[in-house]
Amino acid sequence: MELEILEPVLTEILQELKAVREINHNLVESVGKLEQRTMVFDQKLEKVKLVVPPVDTHPINEIISENMALIASIVEAQPKNIIKRHQVLLFPENDTKEYYRFISGRIIPWIVGFFVVYFLFCLGRQAIDKSTVSKERRVTYEQYQNAWAHLDTIAGPALREKMDEAWRLASNPHSKESD
């Protein structure tokens, strides 16, 4: 019984295998033919050189330049925003080399020179003030000296004693406290 069942099953499988082998053989032949065809196409493509004629862009360039001129005229015709900027830049945005050359070569020496001249002016003013004060003191001293000499010439002995006592008190102010 088993043999009777197995034999038809195996014959069926064998027939199917033969059919599959034939289909496989046909596919291999078809693939081989397709490979040959693609090789022929590749060879033809290598031989063919594609020559593209140059594109004439002159009309397009004319249209673009006309429209750019139109856009530029429209933009220029519009009112412009005016922005006023007032700023003092210690560190400039551009031309820094020239800026620092100007600062170190011209401004700094002028500032140093200004301070030297100002210092000399202050010293001169102090010297003038001191000489003026000393002249005033000398004039006052000479006036007192002349007045004292005049009093000494016209004074009698009682006035001379009082003058000598005043002279002593003026030259030594602490002597009155001891008396």
Q: What is the DSSP string of 58-85?
A: HHHHHHHHHHHHHHHHHHHHSPPPP---
pLDDT one-digit tens code per residue, 89-135: 777 777 778 877 877 788 888 899 999 999 999 999 999 989 998 88
Sign of CA dihedral 40, 42, 44, 46: negative
Mean of pLDDT values over 33-61 = 85
Mean pLDDT across the chain, nearest whole number? 85
Q: Is residue 51 part of a domain?
A: no
Q: Put residue 95 in one of left, alpha, beta given phi > 0 → left and psi -120 to 50 → alpha.
A: left
**What pTM was estimated for this model as a whole?**
0.33
Q: Is residue 7 part of a domain?
A: yes
Q: Is residue 26 part of a domain?
A: yes
Q: Is residue 50 part of a domain?
A: no
Q: Is residue 21 part of a domain?
A: yes
Q: Is residue 4 part of a domain?
A: yes
- Rg (C-alpha) for the chain, rounded Å, is 62
Q: Is residue 107 part of a domain?
A: no
CA angle in degrees (0–180, nearest 5) for 48-51-57 = 160
Domain count within the chain: 1
- Res. 177: pLDDT tops 70: no
Q: Is residue 67 part of a domain?
A: no
By residue range, what is the domain housing residue 32? Answer: 1-40
